[in-house]
Amino acid sequence: MKSDRERWDSRYSDECGDNLYPDQFLIDCSHLLSSGRALDLACGCGANSIFLSSIGYWVDAFDISLVGLRNLQKRIGFANLPIGCAVVDLDYYPLPADSYDLITVFNFFAEQITSQIRLALKKGGLLIYSTYNYKHLSLKPEFCSDYLVPRGGLAQFFPDLEVIVDIENAEPAGNVSRFVGKNRN
Ligand SMILES: C[S@@+](CC[C@H](N)C(=O)[O-])C[C@H]1O[C@@H](n2cnc3c(N)ncnc32)[C@H](O)[C@@H]1O
């Protein structure tokens, strides 16, 4: 069986799919954004990383796929955008604590790293998270349920963040969960 890295490398060697443009939910959150150090987790080809760097963030773009990150670097080209790419397997890589003003996670979920995501936020830091939930199985029964947000939505994994947005069932099929939270501690 192919590893996650092999699967994503082979997918990104054909194309970046729908991932050429920043996610609409991130754009909708623009009024909450400022500047500082950002982490785009499981960034893929990095459309969100490019967007964040273009508005003034220093971005760490982490993903398991070297091919995805190379696509991101090609897209940056000679533009002098402050994006640092790193091939990282989030199942094993400890995120630096108390380090980021903003963390974005789009279309990726692994319950075991949610506490690390929380700890990686600086005081006042913002988490913007949007990904598929359990209802996605009714559209794609083959999808691995470990990678889907369970009933209750994303807020249950970030209990001490101040909730700014918490939508358990977004999109017409209700198969996407969205959360924006702020670290007040
Ligand atoms: C559906 S894509 C989302 C990409 C991007 N966030 C977006 O929304 O366009 C899921 C991403 O998770 C990455 N990924 C999967 N498992 C990973 C892991 N264990 N560590 C780091 N990245 C991983 C894949 O390489 C892929 O780029």
Q: Which of 2-6, 12-16, 24-28, 71-75 has the lowest mean pLDDT?
A: 12-16
Q: How many CB atoms lie within 10 A of CB 75?
A: 17
Element (H, E) at 141: none
Q: Where are the domains of the chain?
A: 37-182
Query: What is the Å distance from ligand 1's center to 81 Cα?
Result: 21
The CATH architecture that domain 37-182 belongs to is 3-Layer(aba) Sandwich (3.40)
pLDDT value at residue 55: 96
User: Measured in angstroms, how far is the CA atom of residue 63 from the centroid of ligand 1?
Assistant: 6
**pLDDT attached to residue 4:** 86
User: 14 falls in which pLDDT band (50, 70, 90)?
Assistant: confident
Residue 17's pLDDT is: 59
The DSSP H or E segment spanning 47 is: helix 47-54
Measure CA of the first residue to CA of the last residue in the chain; give whole Å.
43
Q: Please give the number of the atom of ligand 1 that sits closest to the Cα of 8.
A: 25
Beta strands in 52-133 (DSSP E): 57-63, 83-87, 100-106, 121-132
Residues in the chain: 185
Residue 18 reports pLDDT greater than 90: no
Residue 1 has pLDDT above 90, yes or no: no
The token pair that represents 73 in the structure block: 């670097």
The answer to whether 50 and 83 are in contact (CB under 8 A) is: yes
Can you list the pairs that 74-79 forms with residues at least 24 positions away whose Cβ atoms lie under 8 Å? 75/45, 75/46, 75/50, 76/50
User: What pLDDT, on a 0 to 100 scale, did the predictor assign at position 109?
Assistant: 98
Ligand 1 shell residues, CB under 6 Å: 4, 8, 19, 42-44, 47, 63-65, 68, 88-91, 106-108
Placement of tokens 């754009």 in the chain? 27
How many angstroms separate the alpha carbon of residue 76 from the centre of ligand 1? 19
pLDDT digits (tens, 9 = 90+) for 43-60: 999 999 999 999 999 999
Span 65-109, pLDDT tens digits: 999 999 999 988 878 899 999 999 999 999 999 999 999 999 999
More confident residue, 146 or 15: 146
